[in-house]
Amino acid sequence: MEKQIFNATLVIVFIFIFTLILFNLFIGNAILLGLSLFVFSEVLICFYLLRKKNQYKWAYYIFGLSIYPILAIAFFYNDGIQGPTFYILLLSHFVILSISNHGGFVFWTLVNGTAFIVLFYLGLFHEDWIPKIYTNKDMVFVDHSLTYLASMAGITFLVATLKNFYRSQKNKVKEKTNELIQLNRSLSKTSAQKDKIITIISHDLKNPLQSIMQTLELMKNGDLPPDEVEFLHEELLKITSRTYNMMENILDWSSFELKNKAIRVKEIDLKSLFEDTTEIFKVIAKQKQISINLEYKKNPQVKIETDRLLLIYRNLVQNAIKFTPSGGTISIEINASGKWVRISIQDNGVGISEERLKNIFEQDIKSTYGTEQEKGTGMGLHLCFQNAHKLGGQIEVKSLEGNGSVFILTIPNGLS
């Protein structure tokens, strides 16, 4: 800031001294003319050091230390107290303060104050030391008027420069603050997404992995006939392969979510989309003696973010398995009407209490337990609700405690 102000100050002084040169040339004051030319050359040197050599300190000290001896000479050869030197003395102090750091304020204030007192004392009590330059009142009027107006213009320009610089810095700070706010929001959003993704991964992959472990334990015991072992081998290969594909899809989608990449939309029929996932869940449900009946009244073609749709589908079916007791039934019905697709998942499980229904889709991270103490996070339905809205759809739930539940997902097919 000081460097910019100093640069502007030198321009002001340059114009001011040039005016004095012309005035002193006009009135014929050879001493003040020579002094003005000396200051003019000094200003050029300071300007050169500041702009060309980038030596701010040298320019600062040359300007600050030379200005008071020059003003003292000008005082004696410009009618002392009767002359306009004190206007320039005050302007000089303002200029030096504007280009000084805080440590120089006291020093330069003492220097300026001392210079004023000494010069005023000499002009008042030793008037005979000072030659009379003014020959008439017209010259006094012109000299004072020009010097005062030039000093006032210099102070006004400096104040305007300071205010403009302050405003500029304030805007820059505001921009940086806004950037930091946006960055913090982005970090918070990324952190929240990361937490959700961890929840999704643990929620969606846990049940298939548990099913694989249970199948392996059955085979390890060795109590099964050969034909059933062969069947389990085939089932294990299927569920492992499908779980691997599911994991790849989840991790791929998670990467896109965290990096805020462009939305990925696919055009596909729902039977092809849900087939592998449904087969995994049938194996998991079979271990609880639960049957899953999937009916396609129509096999709708959709153009949609398939990762989000699969996320909702997995969570709703897993919840149905989790809260349906052994021997129960889960009915999945997929239908289409116009531009809308309707996916209904109904179970005859434990149902949901009226109180819980009021805020069932709100974020509530806490452990939940199924009919066989399957542990969950409580985040599944909240994620379903959020992602349904991102797809432009909605989820409804109907339930009666002790008589099962039905979740209905309605989404646009995305086809024009």
Pairwise pLDDT comparison (62 vs 2), residue with the higher score: 62
CB atoms within 10 A of CB 319: 22
DSSP code of residue 132: P
Higher model confidence: residue 128 or residue 18?
Answer: 128
Angle of helix 2-27 relative to helix 137-221, nearest 10 degrees? Answer: 170
Alpha helices by DSSP H, listed for 28-129, are: 30-51, 56-76, 85-99, 105-125
pLDDT per position as a tens digit, 211-247: 777 777 777 776 667 777 777 777 776 667 666 656 6
φ, ψ of residue 55 in degrees (nearest 5): -105, 80
Strands 405-412 and 340-347: antiparallel
Neighbours of 324 (CB within 10 A): 24
Return d(Cα 199, Cα 203) in angstroms, integer: 6
At residue 180, the pLDDT reads: 83
Of these ranges, 21-30, 90-99, 295-304, the one predicted with the greatest mean pLDDT is 295-304
397 in Cβ contact with 405 (< 8 Å):
yes
The dihedral through the CA atoms of 81, 82, 84, 90 has a sign that is positive
| DSSP notation for 190-239 | HHHHHHHHHHHHHHHHHHHHHHHHHHHHHHHHT-S-HHHHHHHHHHHHHH
Q: Is the pLDDT of residue 116 over 90?
A: yes
294-339 pLDDT, tens digit per residue, is 999 888 899 998 888 988 898 899 889 888 888 899 999 999 988 9
Question: Mean pLDDT across the stretch 150-175?
Answer: 82
Residue 401 scores a pLDDT above 80: yes
Could you give the percent of the chain with pLDDT greater than 70?
81
User: Region 123-132: what's the mean pLDDT?
Assistant: 87
- Report the pLDDT value the prediction gives residue 241, as an integer from 0 to 100: 60
pLDDT at 18 over 50: yes
Mean pLDDT of all residues in 156-165: 79
Q: What is the pLDDT of residues 357-373, one digit of tens each?
A: 888 877 554 545 566 65
The mean-pLDDT minimum among 195-209, 316-330, 381-395 falls in: 195-209
Query: Is the pLDDT confidence value at 154 over 70?
Result: yes
Reading the block at residue 280, the tokens are: 């995994």
- From the centroid of its chain, how far is CA 184? 5
| Distance (Å, whole) CA 142 – CA 46 | 30
Q: What is the pLDDT of residue 114?
A: 93
C-alpha dist (Å) from residue 7 to 12, 47, 158, 358:
9, 7, 11, 69
Between β-strands 266-269 and 405-412, what pairing exists: parallel, antiparallel or unpaired?
unpaired
> What's the pLDDT at 258?
59
Kindly state the helix (H) or strand (E) to which residue 27 belongs, with its residue range: helix 2-27
Given this model, what pLDDT does residue 406 score? 93
Pick the most confident of 91-105, 216-230, 243-257.
91-105
On average, the pLDDT of the chain sits at 80
Query: For residue 365, what pLDDT is reported?
Result: 47
Average of pLDDT values for 38-65? 80
Question: What is the per-residue pLDDT for 410?
Answer: 94
Nearest residue to 28 (alpha-carbon basis) of 131, 117, 134: 134
**Can you give the pLDDT at residue 377?**
47
Length in residues, the chain: 416
Of 248, 237, 235, 238, nearest in space to 287 by CA = 235
Residue 263 carries which DSSP code? Answer: P
* DSSP conformational letter for 297: S
Which comes out higher in pLDDT, residue 63 or 313?
A: 313
Helix, strand, or coil (residue 367): coil
Please report the pLDDT score of residue 335 as a whole number.
92
Residue 10 pLDDT more than 80?
Answer: no
Task: Annotate 311-352 with DSSP letters as a single string.
Answer: HHHHHHHHHHHHTS-TT-EEEEEEEEETTEEEEEEEE-SS--
